[in-house]
């Protein structure tokens, strides 16, 4: 239990560091010198020190948005088996609870964006409401597959101890699809290229960035921290799937898990460096690919996993 809590705190503390990796990979591909690895901490501290400017159009919902979105992510992390260790909490159906908790965070992010009366933020909000519909469908598709393989509805049954290895043993080839589907969901849910470009300059083409345009100071820092942690959450799933082993030594397992995690972040960085953002009306097709992959995986397992 204590170990789980320490791991949880560690995950929150290190999440900004991992995100800086993506920036460095992008800088490497661009032939530039990347920012320091602690850049995100500097940004957070800078924002925490500042005051805030609020739009006259906003209400209390606008201030509630960052608080709710961060606390949903932090609560969700409590159910995540970090490095294969048992999570702080776990119960039958916690997967559904976590997915809906993240939905609650999204509701408030959108509501906070709509609160500003800005046409751009409305645009971002509309996109944020649209793409996750498909994401959620493919997420549940993956869940169905996991449920068929394990007969359980909790994260610890999929990702902790030797469970991921068991998954590979029973259904190895469909899991390759699942890893790809997960990666697409990661890119969509965390507003990365090719769904959204976090580094873009034009408000018209943003999704997540445009929704937080009017937030400033500590509020913005809470949002940033939340999105670092969310990216960590999704990356940890994939890291656990690509590295399913549970070694004797907890430090060794942790070390290798961090290695796998870095791999996922670097893959995200490479993805962002080599392809451009899709046109907005093409994005649903891209997200639907994850749904199709998950469906294929289920169809494959239908025959040989009884």
Partner 1 sequence: MVLHKTGTRSIDALGGLLKKMKLTGTTFIIGSLAICGLPPFNGFVSEFFVYLGGFNGISMNGTPFVISLIAIVSLAIIGGLALACFTKVVGVVFQGEPRSQAAENVNEKGITMLIPMGVLAVFCTVIGIFPEIFIRLALKGVSTLIPGYSQISLVSFVETTGNITRYSAIFIGVLIIIFIIRTLLYQGKEITQSGTWGCGFTQPTAKMQYTGMSYSASILEFFKPFAPLRENHPAIEGRLPEKTHYHSHIDDMAELHLDKITRPIIFLFDKLRWIQHGDIHLYIGYILLAIILLLFFV
Which 149-168 residues touch partner 1, going by CB under 8 A? 151, 153
Residue placing its CB nearer to partner 1 in the complex, 29 or 48 = 48
Q: Among 7, 21, 44, 139, which residue interacts with partner 1 (rule: CB under 8 A)? A: 139
Of 96 and 275, nearer to partner 1 (C-beta) is 96
CB atoms within 10 A of CB 36: 12
Would you count residue 305 as binding partner 1 (CB under 8 A)? no
d(CA 82, CA 268): 20
Q: Are 158 and 170 in contact (CB under 8 A)?
A: no
Interface with partner 1 in residues 96-125 (CB under 8 A): 96-97, 100-101, 103-104, 106-107, 110-111, 113-123, 125
| Sole window of 136-144, 155-163, 232-240, 250-258 interacting with partner 1 (rule: CB under 8 A) | 136-144
CB of 179 to partner 1, least distance (A): 20
Could you say whether residue 40 binds partner 1 (CB under 8 A)?
A: no
Residue ranges in 169-198 that form contacts with partner 1 under rule CB under 8 A: none
Burial category of 248 from C-beta neighbours within 10 Å (exposed 0-12, middle 13-18, buried 19 and up): exposed
Question: Residue written as tokens 């445009």?
Answer: 210
CA distance 152 to 155: 9
Q: Rg (Cα) of the chain, in Å, rounded?
A: 19
The interface with partner 1 within residues 251-280 (CB under 8 A) comprises 280
Closest distance of CB 55 from partner 1, Å: 4
Helical (H) or strand (E) element with 19:
helix 2-29
DSSP-based three-state secondary structure for 31: coil
End-to-end CA distance of the chain: 35
Q: How far is CA 61 from the centre of its chain?
A: 24
Candidate residues 9, 45, 133, 275; the one interacting with partner 1 per rule CB under 8 A: 133
Minimum distance from CB of 159 to partner 1 (Å)? Answer: 18
Report the residue number, 19 or 109, with the smaller CB distance to partner 1: 109
Which CB, 38 or 96, lies closer to partner 1? 96
- Is residue 221 a contact partner of residue 228, using CB atoms and an 8 Å limit? no
Single residue of 6, 30, 52, 162 touching partner 1 by CB under 8 A: 52
CB of 292 to partner 1, least distance (A): 12
Q: Exposure of 264 by Cβ count < 10 A (0-12 exposed, 13-18 middle, 19+ buried)?
A: buried
Residue whose C-alpha is closest to residue 279's, from 120, 133, 127:
127
Which CB sits closer to partner 1, 94 or 272?
A: 94
Residues 59-98 that bind partner 1 (CB under 8 A): 59, 61, 66-68, 70-72, 74-75, 78, 89, 91-94, 96-97
- Pick one of 26, 85, 127, 240: the residue that binds partner 1 (CB under 8 A): 127
């Amino acid at each position: 239990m204590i170990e789980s809590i320490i791991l949880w705190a560690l995950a929150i503390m290190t999440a900004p560091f991992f995100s800086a990796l993506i920036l460095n990979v992008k800088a490497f591909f661009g032939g530039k010198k990347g920012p320091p690895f602690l850049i995100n901490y500097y940004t957070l501290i800078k924002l925490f020190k500042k005051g805030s400017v609020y739009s006259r159009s906003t209400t209390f919902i606008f201030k509630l948005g960052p608080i709710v979105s961060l606390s949903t992510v932090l609560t969700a992390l409590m159910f995540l088996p970090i490095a294969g260790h048992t999570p702080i909490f776990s119960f039958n159906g916690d997967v559904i609870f976590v997915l809906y908790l993240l939905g609650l965070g999204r509701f408030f992010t959108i509501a906070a964006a709509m609160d500003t009366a800005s046409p751009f933020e409305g645009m971002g909000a509309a996109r944020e409401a649209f793409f996750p519909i498909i994401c959620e469908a493919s997420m549940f598709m993956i869940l169905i597959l996991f449920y068929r393989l394990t007969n359980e509805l909790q994260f610890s049954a999929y990702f902790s101890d030797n469970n991921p290895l068991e998954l590979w043993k029973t259904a190895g080839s469909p899991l390759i699809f699942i890893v790809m589907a997960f990666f697409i969901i990661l890119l969509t849910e965390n507003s990365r290229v090719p769904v959204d470009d976090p580094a873009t300059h034009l408000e018209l083409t943003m999704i997540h960035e445009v929704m937080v345009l009017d937030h400033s100071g500590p509020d913005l820092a809470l949002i940033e921290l939340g999105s670092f942690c969310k990216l960590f959450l999704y990356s940890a799933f994939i890291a656990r799937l690509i590295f399913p082993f549970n070694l004797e030594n907890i430090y060794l397992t942790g070390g290798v898990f961090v290695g796998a995690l870095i791999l996922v972040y670097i893959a995200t960085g490479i993805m962002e460096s080599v392809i451009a953002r899709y046109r907005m009306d093409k994005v649903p097709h891209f997200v639907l690919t994850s749904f199709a992959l998950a469906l294929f995986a289920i169809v494959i397992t239908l025959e040989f996993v009884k």
